[in-house]
Structure 1
Amino acid sequence: MSYVQPGGKRQKVREVRSENIDYFQGMEKVEYNNMATSTDTNSYRYYNCSERVHSRSMEEWLKYSLSFTEFRYNGSDIQGRPTFSRSWDDNTNTIDNHKRCLKAFYDFCMKLGIKYWTAFDTDLVPQTDNWDENKSNWDEIVEYINEMSQKSQMKLLWLTPDLHSHPKYISGAFTSNEASTFVQAATQIKKCLEVSQRLNAECFLLWPYREGYNAIFQTDVAREIKLFSKLLKITAEYKDRLNYKCQLLIMPYYSSSGKNYGSYGNLMWQPNGNWNGDVLNRYMWDITSCLYFLKFHNLDRYYKVCTPPGHHMYMAGVYNMFGGVTITNQFDPCDNKTITLMMKCVIDQGAAPPGGINLRLVPKRDCDLRELMTSQVTYIDALARGLRVACNVISEQVFVKHLQQRYASYYSGFGSRLLSSDVSIEECEDFYKKNQAHNEITCTKSEHYNMVFQRYLDTCDHV
């Protein structure tokens, strides 16, 4: 025992020294400067975290989080080897290397002024086949993260189990034909939930990436869907037994025709506009299939849905299932219209979704540290700009008045009964017969209001 104690003390000294390293030396913290020039990419022109807009701070509305997964990307792709040589990452599968990567990531987030972060469980600890070693690694990394979070006032927004990378999950994790794989996935989720609670994460995310079938003639689809719902249910039940007060999130395997909103290495957060083959064979491949699945299995009381910007997000909001937004490099930060509509959707909900806005930005293969930061600033500022425009649109109530006029027939007379009381189809027929002569086609004024909306976008710098 006398030999172990001095060794432990020396190890602590080394850790303290490594924590004093500034991995982004010479790079200032990104601050708000609304007078920043076009070439000043180290300032926010629109994002002022403490500024109150529409009764909340910008930080509260946007609730940004950065992805540790993308931060650890090494520059490799299917055609090329790793291109990055980061001072904090020696590419070893050791607990010390994971700690250094976390330290650098915390420094990075603090330079950007972002308080939340997200990760897969496999990002945080070395993966081994030894149960006791894995437990020891988790204990050590949880203690380290909690210490770092206390010093920096940063917080883990969500943790998610990696249920797609391990070879065992080649045919799915929730829906594998092998019972042993289902059990392995359940065990991994259980541990991940426990770690998430110890790290005081606000949410817990599940991403059913490989849940589907390749050939219908060799798949018991009914059985697999029951297994899928079973694992989602026992996950929610275990969270309740832990007395863990977090929001459960789920992210379907999204696809959007003509748009590709995200990829990481060979993993597609949203695959190319291909509506054939494996995309349609996913059990949860868009917002509609996800909401139906959750509702049918009575899981909608536990889970909310993470979406990309656009249609999926609007539909999740309508059904009160909006859990968060995922932004990737494939989403164009210059698409001011989509960004503004996205932020208007958030404001219409009354608050940021529990999962906030998660920035999953993969660095370009020739990216240095300055470029790494600039890519984040680009998206952070673009979304803040959209928030400012959305607040301006809402405060002037131009579109609210237009909507009231457009749906005026539902505010009085027979139209007011259609949603507020029981109306039979026979009554609809009688009303139509008596009033068909008065049916007139009214202009929607879409061109006018498209131009009005565009002018709001064009005048953002005056907001």
Structure 2
Amino acid sequence: MRTMKAAAKLLLFVLCILAVSLAVIAGSPPTCPAGLSSGCGEWEGEFFPGIPKIKYEGPSSKSPLAYKWYNAEEEILGKKMKDWFRFSVAFWHTFRGTGGDPFGAPTKMWPWEDGTNSLDMAKRRMRANFEFIDKLGVDFWCFHDRDVAPDGKTLEEANSNLDEVVALAKELQGTKIRPLWGTAQLFMHPRFMHGAATSSELGVYAYSAAQVKKAMEVTHYLGGENYVFWGGREGYQTLLNTDMERELNHLARFLQASVAYKKKIGFNGTLLIEPKPQEPTKHQYDWDAATTANFLRKYGLIGDFKLNIECNHATLSGHSCHHEIETARINGLLGNIDANSGDPQTGWDTDQFMTDIMEATMVMLSVVKNGGIAPGGFNFDAKLRRESTDVEDLFIAHIIGMDTMARGLRNAAKLIEDGSLAELVRKRYQSFDTELGASVEAGKADFELLEKKAMEWGELKVPSGKQELAEMILQSVL
């Protein structure tokens, strides 16, 4: 059987060489027969042999393994699509996701898994990661330290494991691919039961600092463009046993120390904080964008951090993703977006791939207003459903996520170029486009002047907000 497979591969290779030769003679672009990647002469890979490199085929394509709306090199509003998005693959969901949940055992055993968490297994996952990234056609990936390498019995052993796997990652990513961001996993191990930077135990605080130090070093070594802090257990279950002021002060000191260490090692990436209201704790200190912005201002960190907005976290906090992105944007804090969504009938973080085109359109309106989010990007912090167990499902999920965001960008461009929505908003505030309005906005209109004007004007007729017209304009591009 092995001899037959080897012979078949050799035949495919010969056919590919022949196809290339004939194409060159004919003056046509070279193509490969089925069984080889689009590179010709390059086998399809160790882990995804049945999956071709994903290409843009346009809206009329019926292939589930092709982009219909995302065309990486196409320019929209003066920038290539790939530069608007800077799409990233989340290592933890894509290569560590098992389909398990609190009520059910794992449902997935991927080709790169052998049921262990050994160093050899970690290296297999890393090879699968870069094969996947190459076939998907993106330039970025994101990771937690403990997702890419096994923990150790000691901190020294954990660091050694991480160094070994990261060395392989550095080799595999080459010069084109790099981390959008890295982070330390400070929530899963029992030592973090009371938090990490906000733990009541000094030893845990020190361990957390050491782990972040190492994670920041390897992110820097891999050419990462950002570093994320997600406080999964930085919060409380009850205030009865919590000194909230002291915990917040400790968190601030931890983040201040991270800024100092970033500068010490010459890491030029952006430091990001990812808001989330609760889950697993009842209350997490980085509740939403506004709460986090207030925290940063209070502790003098506003110039050192930006926000990583996750759409599913936005809805858990009672906001829309658009609201959280706008809040971050107008505060000068929009740094990165975790492109996912939740189920409105489910009250927890389901981490689904975004497929709502209207939501994607509103998200992209804010991103365009921001001029993009580089050096951040769009990370797919999203996972397959428990019932989706085929390897190709990983590709299909990312394709629909990327196509959804691409449709959002295309729609946002239509709205901007049409100008009707912007004009509606302008007209709504046009009373401030007057001498008095300018004085108000400049902080020069006192109460005596405003009282005088109010008496002169008498009872006012307040105009319509035209919400339905705004929604009609939005619908017209969908």
Q: TM-score, normalised by structure 2?
A: 0.83
The answer to which of 25-34 and 415-424 deviates more is: 415-424
Q: Which residue identity does 1:85 align to in structure 2?
A: M
- Partner of residue 336 from structure 2, selected from 316, 324, 329: 324
Match of 1:122 in 2: 146
Q: Which residue identity does 1:299 align to in structure 2?
A: L
Match of 2:178 in 1: 155
Q: Does 1:28 align with 2:52?
A: yes
Question: What displacement does 1:21 show?
Answer: 4.8
Residue-by-residue CA offset, 1:386-442 (whole Å, 9 max, x unaligned): 1001011111211222222221111113112111242212221121111224x2221
Q: Is the 8 A contact 1:209 1:252 kept in 2?
A: no
Residue-by-residue CA offset, 1:331-375 (whole Å, 9 max, x unaligned): 574422211010010000012243311102212234211112111
Counterparts of 1:185-200 in structure 2 under 5 Å?
185-200=208-223
Q: Is the 8 A contact 1:60 1:352 kept in 2?
A: no
Counterparts of 1:301-380 in structure 2 under 5 Å?
301-307=303-309, 308=311, 309-328=321-340, 330=342, 333-366=354-387, 367-380=389-402
Q: Is the 8 A contact 2:436 2:445 kept in 1?
A: no
Match of 2:195 in 1: 172
Question: What displacement does 1:301 show?
Answer: 0.8
Match of 2:166 in 1: 142
Match of 2:298 in 1: 296
Extract unaligned runs of 5+ from structure 2: 1-42, 312-320, 343-351
Q: Which residue identity does 1:150 align to in structure 2?
A: G
SS in structure 2 at match of 1:126: coil
Distance (whole Å) between structure 2 residues aligned to residue 302 and residue 25 of structure 1: 44
Residue-by-residue CA offset, 1:282-311 (whole Å, 9 max, x unaligned): 222111211110111011111101112321
Q: Which residue identity does 2:295 align to in structure 1?
A: F
Question: What displacement does 1:130 show?
Answer: 3.1
The answer to which of 85-94 and 196-205 deviates more is: 85-94
Q: Is the 8 A contact 1:248 1:302 kept in 2?
A: yes
The answer to which of 189-198 and 137-146 deviates more is: 137-146
Match of 1:287 in 2: 289
Q: Which residue identity does 1:310 align to in structure 2?
A: H
Q: Is the 8 A contact 1:346 1:353 kept in 2?
A: no
Match of 1:426 in 2: 448
Q: Is the 8 A contact 1:75 1:81 kept in 2?
A: yes
Q: Is the 8 A contact 1:36 1:43 kept in 2?
A: no
Work out the number of aligned pairs and report it: 415
Match of 1:435 in 2: 457
Q: Is the 8 A contact 1:74 1:84 kept in 2?
A: yes
Residue-by-residue CA offset, 1:228-253 (whole Å, 9 max, x unaligned): 11101101111011121110000022
Question: What displacement does 1:89 show?
Answer: 1.3
CA-based RMSD: 1.8
Question: What displacement does 1:446 show?
Answer: 1.9
Q: Does 1:53 align with 2:76?
A: yes
User: Identity rate of aligned residues, in percent?
Assistant: 28
Extract unaligned runs of 5+ from structure 1: 1-18, 256-267, 272-277, 458-463
Q: Is the 8 A contact 2:100 2:107 kept in 1?
A: yes
Residue-by-residue CA offset, 1:309-339 (whole Å, 9 max, x unaligned): 3211111011110111112352574422211
Question: What displacement does 1:215 show?
Answer: 2.4
SS in structure 1 at match of 2:339: strand
- Partner of residue 220 from structure 1, selected from 243, 247, 263: 243
SS in structure 2 at match of 1:159: strand
Q: Which residue identity does 1:222 align to in structure 2?
A: E
Relative CO higher for 1 or 2, CA cutoff 8 Å, sep ≥ 6?
Answer: 1
